[in-house]
Structure 1
Amino acid sequence: MSIRHGLLALLEQGPRYGSQLRTEFESRTGATWPLNVGQVYTTLSRLERDGMVAQGGEDGAGHPLYAITDVGRGELKSWFERPVDRASPPRNELAIKLAMAVGAPGVDIRAVIQAQRHATLQAMQDYTRLKAQALVAVESGDVDRERDDVAWLLVLEQLIFQTEAEARWLDHSESRLARLSATAALRARNAPAAPDTPDAAGPQEPTGQAGPAPNTARGTRR
């Protein structure tokens, strides 16, 4: 998640102070990714260091205001134009958990999948309910809230699509494991039985049996 670019996008609309940025960020995203004030000011400090924002006076309550610079506008424009990089995908805890559960002693990976599927479907229902509420808000015609409601609706729909994909992936993983288990069992049944006593040297003469009698004749009778 690019907090720095999110803050730049909010500052593009005018100077703001730290807690105001946090409130507007969470309002725009439905608090899906909550921020704390310290995180906001740390990011602002880095943006100021990089020349993307600058402090510009205070508001009526004495809050220091930050404003976006031309450098910041250029970075924001570039961020909007370039696709999100998938070369280094973010870590996914669920994928890591299933990867570690494969072959782990004492772990029933199918039970892990079933528990996660239940949680994923519950999350999908919750997101769908929130989407219905967001649609009502968007259609209410409140101009002052419309922008944030539409933004929240887009975030919710992304979360719904994400949980739907996760549920399909869990179903696929369970089917994959079942097929691999069946294949392993079939191979075990069809494997040739090992001999009771391995005989690597091949057949040998019985112990104690004499070989052919030696020829002791010295010559032939005349």
Structure 2
Amino acid sequence: MSIRYGLLALLERGPMYGYQLRSAFEESIGATWPLNIGQVYTTLGRLVRDELVESLPEHEAGQRPYRITEAGRTELVGWFETAIGRIDRPRDELTIKLALALATPGIDVDRVVHTQRAASKRALQEFVRRKIRDTRADNVSGRLVLDAMIFQTEAEIRWLDHCAESIGGSDPRPGAEQP
């Protein structure tokens, strides 16, 4: 997740201070990924340093708003116009964990797969509940983020089923026949 570009996109709407950016970010993504306020201000500091954002004078309440610069707009447009490749995404910790579990003596890989599958099923149920609860028609971005999380979690569960079958463990699906 790119906080840098998320903040630039939000500042394209107009000047905001840190807490406004945090709230707008979380609202835009359906509160799927909480954003630490320290991360917001650290990222803003880097954006100011890189001259993509400028800080404005403090308000009476001591809040310092920020606004995007022309260089920031150019950077943001470039980000939107460039596809995100699979190689540009963070490493998949689950894939690494399973690969290392297979290579580590004494690890019950079948149990690792079953534990993760159970956790993924719970996460999927929570995403679906959240989607049902969020009935606001105007929150298209939040619904799309939840849809992405649902689709990714469903794919993860299918992949875990494939892993269980490939390593010769029991099929984790309820009622599944053993080969």
Q: Summarize the alignment of residues 76-91 of structure 1 with structure 2, pairs less than 5 Å apart.
A: 76-91=76-91
Higher RCO by CA contacts (8 Å cutoff, separation 6 or greater) = 2
TM-score of the aligned structures, taking structure 2 as reference length? 0.88
Q: Summarize the alignment of residues 1-222 of structure 1 with structure 2, pairs less than 5 Å apart.
A: 1-134=1-134, 136-138=135-137, 146=138, 149-178=139-168
User: Of the two, which has the highest radius of gyration?
Assistant: 1
Cα distance in 2 for partners of 1:69, 1:165 equals: 40
| 1:115, distance to aligned residue in structure 2 (A) | 1.4
Across the two proteins, how many residue pairs are aligned to each other? 169
Q: Which amino acid aligns with 2:15?
A: P
Cα distance in 1 for partners of 2:28, 2:46 equals: 22
| 1:109, distance to aligned residue in structure 2 (A) | 0.8
| 1:176, distance to aligned residue in structure 2 (A) | 1.1
Unaligned runs of 5+ in 1: 139-145, 180-222
| Residues 130-176 of structure 1 deviation map (CA, whole Å, 9 limit, x = unaligned) | 11122x222xxxxxxx2xx2211111000001001101101111111
CA RMSD between the two structures: 1.6
The corresponding residue for 1:195 is none
| 1:106, distance to aligned residue in structure 2 (A) | 2.1
Unaligned runs of 5+ in 2: 170-179
TM-score of the aligned structures, taking structure 1 as reference length? 0.72
Cα distance in 1 for partners of 2:41, 2:103 equals: 45
Secondary structure of the 2:65 match is strand
